[in-house]
Amino acid sequence: MQLLAWNDYLNTGIAIVDQQHRGLVDLANETAAKLSSGADLSPEEMRTLLGFLLDYAEIHFSTEEALMALSGLDERHVEHHRQSHARFMQQVKAMVARMGGDNAITGPQMIEFLGNWLVYHMLGEDQSMSRQLRAVTAGTPAEKAYEPAGRQPLDPAQEAASRSLSHLYAFMANQNQQLLATEQEHRSRGDQLKDLVAERTAELNASEERFRALFHNGVLPIVIVPLDQNLMPGRVVDANPAACELLGYSLEEMLRLSPRDFVAQEELPRFPTLISELLVTGKFECEMTYVTKTGQRLVARLNMTHFVMHGQLVTLFIIQDISERKAAELAREENRQSSERLAQVRSEFLAAMSQQVNYPKNGALGLAPANVGDGVSPRQAAALLSDLPLFQDVAADDLAQLGVACQERSLAKGEILFEKGDSPHGLFLVIHGHVMLAVSSTQGNKKVLGIFGPKQTFGEAEVVMGSPYPFFAEAIEEAVVLQVAQRELVELLDRDRNLARKLLACVGLRLHDLVHDVESYTLRSGMERVIGYLLQHAYIHAQGRLEVELPARKQVIASLLHITPETLSRIFRDLSEAGLIHAKGRHVHIPDADRLSAWQASESSSSPAGRPRRVGGSD
Q: Is the pLDDT of residue 471 over 90?
A: yes
What is the DSSP secondary-structure string of 358-411? TS-SSS-TT-------S---HHHHHHHHHTSTTTTTS-HHHHHHHHHTEEEEEE
Whether the predicted pLDDT of 349 surpasses 60: no
Please give the pLDDT value at position 110. 80
Q: Write down the pLDDT at residue 211.
A: 55
How much of the chain, in percent, has pLDDT values that exceed 90? Answer: 20
pLDDT value at residue 405 = 92
pLDDT at 268 over 80: yes
Residue 325 clears pLDDT 90, i.e. is over it: no
Mean per-residue pLDDT over the chain, rounded = 76
pLDDT band at 612 (very low <50, low <70, confident <90, very high): very low
pLDDT category at 165 given cuts 50, 70, 90 is very low
Distance in angstroms (rounded) separating the CA atoms of residues 285 and 274: 9
pLDDT band at 197 (very low <50, low <70, confident <90, very high): low
Complete DSSP assignment for 287-343: EEEEE-TTS-EEEEEEEEEEEEETTEEEEEEEEEE-HHHHHHHHHHHHHHHHHHHHH
> Which of 204-230 are b and which e, b meaning 16 or more Cβ less than 10 Å from the residue's Cβ?
beebbeebbebbeeeebbbbbbebeee
Close Cβ partners of 5 (under 8 Å, ≥ 6 residues apart): 29, 167
What local confidence, expressed as pLDDT, does residue 191 receive?
57
pLDDT at 218: 64
Sheet holding 283-291, edge to edge: 238-239, 222-225, 312-321, 297-309, 283-291
Q: What is the pLDDT of residue 355?
A: 39
230: three-class secondary structure by DSSP = coil
Which of the 8 DSSP states describes residue 501?
A: H
Query: For 411-439, how does the pLDDT look when each residue is reduced to its tens digit (9 = 90+)?
Result: 999 999 999 999 998 999 999 999 999 99
Q: Which amino acid is at 326?
A: K
**Domains recognised in the chain with CATH numbers:** 8-207 (no CATH), 222-321 (3.30.450.20), 338-352+524-618 (1.10.10.10), 378-508 (2.60.120.10)
**Binning pLDDT at 50, 70 and 90, where does residue 327 land?**
low
Q: Is 611 exposed, middle or buried (0-12, 13-18, 19+ CB in 10 A)?
A: exposed
**CA 217 to chain CA centroid, nearest Å:** 25
Using alpha carbons, select from 478, 588, 477 the residue that is nearest to residue 541.
Answer: 588
Amino acid letter at 337?
Q
Angle, in degrees to the nearest 10, between helices 126-137 and 43-71: 20
Residue 475 has a pLDDT of 95
Find residue 481's DSSP bridge partners.
Answer: 409, 430
352: burial class by Cβ within 10 Å (0-12, 13-18, 19+)? middle
pLDDT at 138 over 90: no
Could you read off the pLDDT of 393-408 as tens digits, one per residue? 999 999 999 999 999 9
pLDDT, mean of residues 215-241: 77
pTM for the full predicted model: 0.42
**Confidence at residue 525, expressed as pLDDT on a 0 to 100 scale:** 85
How many angstroms separate the CA atoms of 114 and 28, rounded?
7
DSSP β-bridge partners for residue 411:
479
pLDDT of res. 177: 37
Give the 3-state secondary structure of residue 60: helix
Taking only the tens place, the pLDDT of each residue in 99-136 is: 877 777 887 778 777 777 776 677 778 888 888 888 88
pLDDT tens column, 549-591: 888 888 888 888 888 889 999 999 999 998 998 988 888 888 8
Neighbours of 338 (CB within 10 A): 16
Quote the DSSP letter at residue 105: P
> What is the arithmetic mean of pLDDT over 546-551?
85
Q: What's the confidence (pLDDT) of residue 486?
A: 92
The predicted-structure confidence for 67-101, as pLDDT tens digits, reads as follows 787 677 888 888 888 888 888 888 888 888 888 77
| Residue 233 contacts residue 279 (beta carbons within 8 Å) | no
